[in-house]
Structure 1
Amino acid sequence: MPALERPDLLAEPVRSALSRMPQPEPGADVPGIEVAEIDPDLADTAVLVEATGMAMEDMANCIVISGARGGEERVCAALVLGHTRADVNKTVRKRLDVRKCSFMPMDQAVERTGMEYGGITPIGLPDDWPVLVDSRVLDRDSIIIGSGLRRSKVRLPGALAEQLPGAEMIDGLALEIG
């Protein structure tokens, strides 16, 4: 169903971000963004795909990455398709302009995003975090992402990822798995 019709299925930062996105009329939902309730035990991508038969290529994972340069922390999120992995050690590291970067520890990512682990999504992240989006995401008719909660997922057109706040399209952000 339209995402803003079920605000209970969205973490507060996600609700807030969606309510600020362009809408056809005040109080209307953001076109093309839907939410569905799921069993929280299915929140992890591989488990959801196995249980539902959805295509791994339609899943998009959002990871939070941090590094530092000159004592200054640099953070971003990366959105990549489920059958790929973010090129953290080369592409993300160069974009952040740091010597070394890595996944932000789970407890920090949860605290700083206001979202649950396994539900972190590119919608509603802190305003100063760039959201690096693998260009292949745009080619998907729709993608399934987190809602900020483990008990639901959001579906949106892949092309809409380019319009998310802070989004930067990057060719080659992700590498094929296996």
Structure 2
Amino acid sequence: MTLPHLGTLESLPAADHPELLAPPVAAALASWAHAGSPAVTAIDAELADTAAFGDAYGVPPEASANCVLVAGRRDGEERVAACVVRADTRADVNGVVRRLLGVRKCSFLPMERAVAESGMEHGGITPLGLPAGWRVLVDARAVEIETAVIGSGVRRSKLLLPGARLGLLPGAEVVTDLAR
């Protein structure tokens, strides 16, 4: 098996290193039919934020995909979504995302709630292993990344996989211009 290589990252088979993944992410990878052979790489947890990570490990922002959690209400019902966008863009939360969720206003989930409900660490949240019922919206540009770097559910590592696999995540909806 050939592992992806990007910048100065040392890739390891994710299936062999569950200690580098949040439990819900490890479980999702084990049950995901389209997972293929993603890689995981250990990083300095202090460098998990996109800009610091890219600078430290030689990974350009267009190779990373960020996941943000948003929510809105309509008729008393909360609608939550994970938005996956290339790191050199921003999710259009109060435009495209708001319309897709069918709500009047969207906002980012508070950090404490995002961490508690996802079972992942702040700065490591990823679209893999999120609670059932949360929509997964993936910007079409993220799907085009040759080797995408995404969160692993913890700050001390990152996952590497073909961007096309992001569009194959369970329940994923690939959206043109989800990000600006």
TM-score range, shorter chain: over 0.9
1:105 aligns with 2:110: yes
- Quick one: which of 18, 21, 28 aligns to 1:10? 21
Aligned to 2:50: 45
Q: Distance in 2 between matches of 1:138 and 1:64?
A: 18
Alpha-carbon deviations, 1:25-50, whole Å to 9, x = none? xxxxx423110111100110011011
SS of equivalent residue, structure 1 residue 78: strand
Q: Distance in 1 between matches of 2:106 and 2:33?
A: 34
Alpha-carbon deviations, 1:54-88, whole Å to 9, x = none? 11100100000001011111100000001000000
Q: Distance in 1 between matches of 2:101 and 2:164?
A: 24
Identity %: 52
User: Which one-letter code corresponds to 1:76 in the other structure?
Assistant: A
Q: Distance in 2 between matches of 1:127 and 1:19?
A: 16
Deviation at 1:140, TM superposition (A): 1.1
Show the 5 A alignment for 1:19-168. 19-22=30-33, 30-168=35-173
TM, length-normalised to structure 2: 0.92
- Quick one: which of 162, 169, 172 aligns to 2:177? 172
Give RMSD over aligned pairs. 0.9
User: Deviation above 6 Å: which 4+ runs of structure 1?
Assistant: none
SS of equivalent residue, structure 2 residue 68: strand
The number of residue pairs the alignment matches comes to 169
Deviation at 1:132, TM superposition (A): 0.2
Q: Distance in 1 between matches of 2:132 and 2:39?
A: 22
Q: Distance in 2 between matches of 1:40 and 1:138?
A: 26
Q: Distance in 2 between matches of 1:134 and 1:128?
A: 19
TM, length-normalised to structure 1: 0.93
User: Which one-letter code corresponds to 2:109 in the other structure?
Assistant: M
User: Which one-letter code corresponds to 2:125 in the other structure?
Assistant: I
User: Which one-letter code corresponds to 1:134 in the other structure?
Assistant: D
Q: Distance in 2 between matches of 1:111 and 1:173?
A: 26
Q: Distance in 2 between matches of 1:147 and 1:137?
A: 16
Which runs of 5 or more residues in structure 2 are unaligned? 1-11
Q: Distance in 2 between matches of 1:15 and 1:52?
A: 24
Deviation at 1:166, TM superposition (A): 1.5
Deviation at 1:134, TM superposition (A): 0.3
Which runs of 5 or more residues in structure 1 are unaligned? 24-29
